[in-house]
Amino acid sequence: MSTLRVTAEVLTVHEHPDADALELAQVGLYRAVVAKGAYRTGEAAVYIPEQAVLPAGLIEELGLTGRLAGPHSDRVKAVRLRGELSQGIVCRPKALADIDLARAALEGTDFAEVLGITKWVPPIPPTMSGEVESAPDLLPWVDIENLQRFPDIFTAGEDVVLTEKLHGSACLLTYLADAGRVHVSSKGFGAKSLALKEDPRNLYWRAVRGHGVAEAAARLAERLGARRVGIFGEVYGAGVQDLTYGADGRRESLGYAVFDVSAEIDGAVRWLDAAELLDGELPSVPRLYEGPYDIDRVLEIASGRETVSGRGLHLREGVVVRPAVERYSPVTGGRAIAKAVSPAYLTRKGGTEYE
């Protein structure tokens, strides 16, 4: 999930092709449906992204009572309005009436706290939870920003790799070479340096044991001379999320695919090419494209049918974009990595979004 920031942004306003009273306000590559005449190109307004949870007073002020997602109708979610995909909310809250929004846009001011907006945390089903223990040596996963929000993470023509983004639950495994032991965690627990104690009922431990992930990590640590190896995989199948990729969720057929690998070598943690390193030892997420970066091509590939099952059973969630050579990004302040999500996935009915 991306980080939550509620910022002022300079808008580009477009006509709505199918509604005389509506327009489209663009932020990055996102477009949000707004009332016609409310904003003009070049003006600044506040942008509230998807997965933000709004306080009741702000919901009422914006005229959105009963119109947002979630059991309390308070979560921002992508919707189609008169045929156009609307992602996020563009507004000028009364609480910021005395703020110079154009200046705030230049300074990158985050208004989430002052507006009482929080980040939505997906629920954790019992099979994905369990008893935890402190794990300060665990290698955590990172939040991935959306390419449509930050299209300048990559430069046109830069060599990139696109892998399919799977709709499952992220499983973090860290192998500690000195002690010969492993930590297993979820993305949420991992961010708090907590590991799940082994439990045969736990989804992540079932996947780790069923696919021999710990053994593969140990072999990789020996080959690399690494003190720690982190293997990050997506667990999927029936009972995990609404998209199953044909896996029925039983122990012997619980889906698992590695999407990233990191290793601590000579005191430095490095991100490495998972498919190249593992070379078939573990299943990996499908690699869909390698070549020069083109935003339109990326967004095209992000949509379509999934390739994991080999049968195109349902829609594709999206893609993850990485440079062919790992590098730092001044846009994210960390790794140059981003996701692009399919509009069909965002607006599907009956979708689940567990941790």
Of 218, 136, 141, the closest CA to residue 181 belongs to 218
Both 186 and 316 in one domain: the answer is yes
State the pLDDT at residue 253. 66
CA separation for the pair 312, 303 (Å, rounded): 12
Strands 118-119 and 132-134: unpaired
pLDDT recorded at residue 51: 94
Mean pLDDT score of the chain:
94
Do 114 and 145 reside in the same domain of the chain? no
Residue 351 or 87, more confident? 87
Q: How many domains does the chain have?
A: 2
Residues 132 and 240 in one domain: yes
Q: Are residues 311 and 337 in the same domain?
A: yes
The whole-number pLDDT of residue 252 equals: 54
What is the reported pLDDT for 351? Answer: 83
Question: Do both 110 and 91 map to the same domain?
Answer: yes
pLDDT at 272 (0 to 100): 94
Q: pLDDT tens across 149-178, in order?
A: 999 999 999 999 999 999 999 999 999 999
Identify whether residues 46 and 165 lie together within a single domain: no
In 3-state terms the chain splits into helix, strand, coil percentages (rounded to 5) of 20, 35, 45
CATH assignment at residue 203:
3.30.470.30
- Single residue among 88, 119, 150 that ends a domain in this structure: 119
Please state at what angle helix 213-224 crosses helix 203-211, rounded to 10 degrees.
Answer: 60
Phi first, then psi: what are they for 251, rounded to 5°? -50, -45
Boundary-marking domain end, from 85, 102, 119: 119
CA distance 74 to 76: 7
Burial 64-90 (b: 16+ CB within 10 A, else e): beeebbeeeebbbbbbeeeebbbbbbb
Q: Give the domain range for residue 42.
A: 7-119
Decide which of 119, 149, 169 is a domain's last residue: 119
